[in-house]
Structure 1
Amino acid sequence: MLSNLKPQAPDKILMLIEEFKADTRQGKIDLGVGVYKNPEGVTPVMRAVKEAEKRIWDSQISKAYTGLAGEADYRNALAGMVLGSVPADRLASVASVGGTGAIRQALELARMANPDVTVYVSDPTWPNHLSIMKFMGVPYVEYRYFDGATRGVDFEGMKADIAKAKKGDLVLLHGCCHNPTGANLTLAQWEEVAAILEKSGAIPLIDLAYQGFGDGLEEDAAATRLLAGRLPEVLIAASCSKNFGIYRERTGILMALGDSTAARDLSQGAMAFLNRQNFSFPPDHGARIVSTILTDAGLTAEWKAELEEVRNTMLGLRTQLASELRDLSGSDRFDFIQHHRGMFSRLGATPEQVAKLKSDAAIYMVGDSRLNIAGLNSDTVPVLARAIIDAGI
C-alpha cells in the first residue's frame, strides 16, 4: 500500500531553511523563515512566559486531558484580547493546534454548514492557506490585493472581487500585518469591506496571526472588532505563536460569532466535534501559559511591555532600511517598507533578483521577494540595502 503513495512537493520555506543551514559563508542572512529574532539572532522566550511557566510548574498537579474545546479560562482570556470583551450570547470557541489548526477547523466548519462554500482569498496570501484548501478540495477564488507598482493595496480591485462572493461563501481576510506583503487596509477601508459583506451575506474568516506586531495590541484588533460588531456571522482564527513567542507550543483558537444563542450553541457543538475527529483534545501547555499571563495584571503588563519592545524593534528596522535605500538609490521608491507593518514586506523583486541576492550576498528570502524584517539587525540592514541595489531591484 505505502508504495502507492505519490511524492509530495517539499515546502519551499522549509527547503530554504535547509539551504541556509548548508551555506558555509560567513555573514549569511536569513530573511525567509517567519519567526521573530532579537538583534542577536535568537528567538527569545519572553519574560512573562518564563514566569508563567514557573507558576504552572509549581501549581499544576495533573496532566489529565483538558476539555474538548480547551479550558474556558484560556478561551475567554484570548477572546477578550481579540474582541475587547466576550459577547457570551454570540461566541463559540475552541482551542486549536496553532493558528494553522484554527484555519483548518474553520474550513471544516464552513463546509459542514455549506457543502457548496467557496473561499475568496487574497492574491497573494500565506501559501499554506492555498495548500490546505487544495488538499481539502475546498474551491477558492483569488481576489486582487497587492499592487506591484505601489507595493500597497489594490483596494478598488479588492472591493470589486470580494463583492462577487455569495451568501454562505467565506472571504479570508488578514486581520492585520498581511502575510506576505506587509500592506494593510486602513480602518476606513475596513468599513467599506464590512459594508460589502453586509450586502452580500458572505462571511469573513479573519486570520489574526500577528496581533501586537503592527500598530499595537488594540490597534491591530480594530478591524476584527469592527467586523464582529457589524456582521451577524464572523469566523476568527487567532494564533499565539508570534505575540507570545510560543511557536512550538502550537497555541491557537477558533472563534465563531453567530447571530443568536441557538447559532452559538450549534457552532460550539460542531467545533467540539471537529476537535474530537481531528486530534481529540487540544494541547494545553501553551494555552495555560497564555491564560496565566492574561488573567494576572502584573504578568499582563510585563508581557505587553515586551511585546511593545518587539514591535518597536521591527519599526526601527523598517525605518533604517527605508532610509538606507533612499540614500543609496537617490529615490523614495523603497519608502513602502517603512509604511508596511508586521514581520514581512514584499519587495516586488523578480525570482532572478532574489536568486542573485542569495548567490552573490548570501541573503535568503522567499522566491516571491517576501523578506522577514525581524531577521535583520542594525548591522545587517546596510548589507541588505547595498545588496538590493546591486541586484538591480
Structure 2
Amino acid sequence: MFEQLQEQPADKILALMQAFREDPREDKIDLGVGVYKDANGNTPIMRAIKDAEKRLWEEETTKAYTGLAGDPLFAERMSRLVLADAVEADAVSAVATPGGTGAVRQAFDMVRLANPEVRVHVSDPTWPNHLSILKHMGIPAIPYRYFDSETGGVDYEGMIADLSQARSGDVILLHGCCHNPTGANLTQGQWHQLIEIIKSTGATPMIDLAYQGFGDGLDEDAGPTREVAAACPETLIAASCSKNFGIYRERTGILMAVSNDTSKKKVTQGTLAYLNRQNYSFPPDHGARLVLMVLGDEGLRADWMSELEDVRTGMLELRRLLTDELRERSGSDRFGFLAQHRGMFSRLGVGPDKVEALREKHGIYMVGDSRMNIAGLNRDTVPKLAEAIIDVGI
C-alpha cells in the first residue's frame, strides 16, 4: 500500500534551517527558528530546571506510569500558574500532553467529538501548525483579520467584524499573548470588547498560551486568558512549558477545559483522559515532573522567575535597540511598531521578495512571511540587521 502514499509538502521552517546550515557565510544571522537563544546563540537549560533535575535523579524511585491524565499535581500547579484564582478549581479539567502542540491537537479532537460540524476561526496570520493540523483533521479553518501590515499592529475593526459572524458550536482560536507570528497583541480594552463579542455569538474560545512570561510578565501575560475563562461559559486552554521553562525537547504541555457548570467536570475530565488513551496513552512525565517541582519549591520558583524575567527584559532591550537603529538609519519612526510588539516574534509586513533579498545579499534568514525571531539577535547583530533592512528597501 505504500505506493499509494504521496509526498507531503516540506515544512518551510525546517527547510529554512537546512538552508542556513549550508550557508558558508560566517556573519549569517538565523532569525527563523522559533526557539529562544541567548546572546551567544545558545538555548540554555534554566538554572531551576537543572537543580530540579539533580534532585529528581536523587529522589525518583520509579518510572511507572503516572496516569492517563498525567500527575494531578502537575495539572493543579499549572492551572494555578495560568488561571490563578480567576475560576474555581472545580471548574477546570486538565490533562498533560506532549508539548503545547499535543494540547492543541487534543483540543481539536475534543471539540470535533463534541460537534462533528465544528468550525475553527483562526487569526490571519496564525502559527502555521494550527492550519496544518486542522487541514489534516478535516476541520474547516475560517480566517479572521488580525495583522495590519501598514501599521504593524492589530486590525482590530476587521477582527471584530469577522468574529461577529461566528456561530454557536464554532471555536474561536486566540493567542493568549505574544502573538505568533506577528508579535502584535490586543490592548486590555480590546480584550474586554472581544469577550463580549464571543459571548454574543455563542462560540467557544480556545486560547493557545505558548509564551506566558515572555511578554509583559507572568501574570500580565495570563491576564487575558483569565478574563476569558472567568467570563465565558466554556473555555479551552492549550499551554506550553517549552519556552518559559526552556524544556523544548521534553515535550511538556497541558490542555485545560474550563466550564462554569461544574457538574460537567466528570464527563469532561473523562473525555480528556479517553483522548489521551487513543492518541498516546500515558503522557510523558519527565518535563512535567520538573515543572511541578519548580512551581512547588519556593527557592526554585524564585530563581526560575528571576531568570525568566531576565529573558523577557533582554528581548525587550533588543527590540528597543533595533527600533533605535532603524530610526537613525531611516530618519523616521515607521519601525516603531517593533518596540510595541511582545514575545520572540515580529512580522515586518513585507513580501517574500524582500525576505529573499535579505537572505541573498546579507545572509539574514527569516520566514517567508517576514516573521523574525528577535531572540536570534544580539547587540552585535542588531546594527547589521537594521542596515540590511534599509538596504533592501523595506
Give the TM-score normalised by the residue count of structure 2.
Answer: 0.99
Q: What amino acid maps onto 2:84 in structure 1?
A: G
Q: Secondary structure at the match of 2:194?
A: helix
Question: Aligned pair 1:190/2:196, yes or no?
Answer: no
Q: Is the 8 A contact 1:210 1:239 kept in 2?
A: yes
Q: 2:315 — aligned with what?
A: 314
> 1 CA distance for matches of 2:118 and 2:269?
20
Question: Aligned pair 1:350/2:348, yes or no?
Answer: no
Q: 1:127 — aligned with what?
A: 128
Q: What is the aligned residue count?
A: 393
Q: Secondary structure at the match of 2:183?
A: coil
Give per-residue Cα distances to partners, 1:287-320, cap 9 Å, x unaligned: 0010000001110000000000000000000000
Q: Secondary structure at the match of 2:281?
A: coil
Return the offset for 1:265: 1.4
Question: Aligned pair 1:69/2:44, yes or no?
Answer: no
Give the TM-score normalised by the residue count of structure 1.
Answer: 0.99
Q: 2:41 — aligned with what?
A: 41
Q: What amino acid maps onto 1:22 in structure 2?
A: E
Give per-residue Cα distances to partners, 1:152-172, cap 9 Å, x unaligned: 000011011111111121000
Could you tell me the percent identity over the aligned residues?
61
Give per-residue Cα distances to partners, 1:329-363, cap 9 Å, x unaligned: 00000010000000000001210110011011110
Runs in 1 of length 4+ with deviation above 3 angstroms? Answer: none
Q: What amino acid maps onto 2:56 in structure 1?
A: I
Q: 2:342 — aligned with what?
A: 341
Return the offset for 1:321: 0.1
> 1 CA distance for matches of 2:378 and 2:260?
47
Q: 1:97 — aligned with what?
A: 98
> 2 CA distance for matches of 1:51 and 1:363?
36
Q: Is the 8 A contact 2:149 2:350 kept in 1?
A: no
> 2 CA distance for matches of 1:288 and 1:326?
46
Alignment of 1:206-245 (within 5 A): 206-245=207-246
Q: Secondary structure at the match of 1:378?
A: coil
Q: 2:205 — aligned with what?
A: 204
Q: Secondary structure at the match of 1:221?
A: helix
Q: 2:270 — aligned with what?
A: 269
CA RMSD of aligned residues (A): 0.7
Q: What amino acid maps onto 2:311 in structure 1?
A: V
> 2 CA distance for matches of 1:213 and 1:242?
8
Give per-residue Cα distances to partners, 1:35-69, cap 9 Å, x unaligned: 11000000000000000101110100111111000
Q: Secondary structure at the match of 2:89?
A: coil
Give per-residue Cα distances to partners, 1:111-132, cap 9 Å, x unaligned: 1111111000000000000000
> 1 CA distance for matches of 2:43 and 2:116?
41
> 2 CA distance for matches of 1:89 and 1:62?
30
Q: Is the 8 A contact 1:144 1:158 kept in 2?
A: yes
Question: Aligned pair 1:80/2:66, yes or no?
Answer: no
Q: 1:166 — aligned with what?
A: 167
Q: 1:278 — aligned with what?
A: 279
Q: Secondary structure at the match of 1:121?
A: strand
Q: Is the 8 A contact 1:75 1:95 kept in 2?
A: yes
Q: Is the 8 A contact 2:212 2:221 kept in 1?
A: yes
Question: Aligned pair 1:24/2:13, yes or no?
Answer: no
Q: What amino acid maps onto 1:233 in structure 2?
A: E
Give per-residue Cα distances to partners, 1:258-283, cap 9 Å, x unaligned: 13222121110111000000000000
> 2 CA distance for matches of 1:189 and 1:63?
47
Give per-residue Cα distances to partners, 1:59-85, cap 9 Å, x unaligned: 001111110000011110000000013
Q: Is the 8 A contact 1:358 1:364 kept in 2?
A: yes
Q: What amino acid maps onto 2:291 in structure 1?
A: V
Return the offset for 1:201: 1.1
> 1 CA distance for matches of 2:140 and 2:332?
43
Q: 1:381 — aligned with what?
A: 382
Q: Is the 8 A contact 1:89 1:260 kept in 2?
A: no
Q: Is the 8 A contact 1:346 1:370 kept in 2?
A: yes
Return the offset for 1:140: 1.4
> 2 CA distance for matches of 1:252 and 1:43?
19
Q: What amino acid maps onto 2:29 in structure 1?
A: I
Moved more, 86-95 or 342-351: 86-95
Q: Which runs of 5+ in 1 are unaligned?
A: none
Q: 1:154 — aligned with what?
A: 155
Q: What amino acid maps onto 1:14 in structure 2?
A: L
Return the offset for 1:88: 2.2
Q: 1:115 — aligned with what?
A: 116
Q: 2:289 — aligned with what?
A: 288
> 2 CA distance for matches of 1:87 and 1:116?
30
Q: Is the 8 A contact 2:34 2:373 kept in 1?
A: yes
Return the offset for 1:234: 0.2
Q: What amino acid maps onto 1:227 in structure 2?
A: V
Q: 1:54 — aligned with what?
A: 54
> 1 CA distance for matches of 2:282 and 2:88?
25
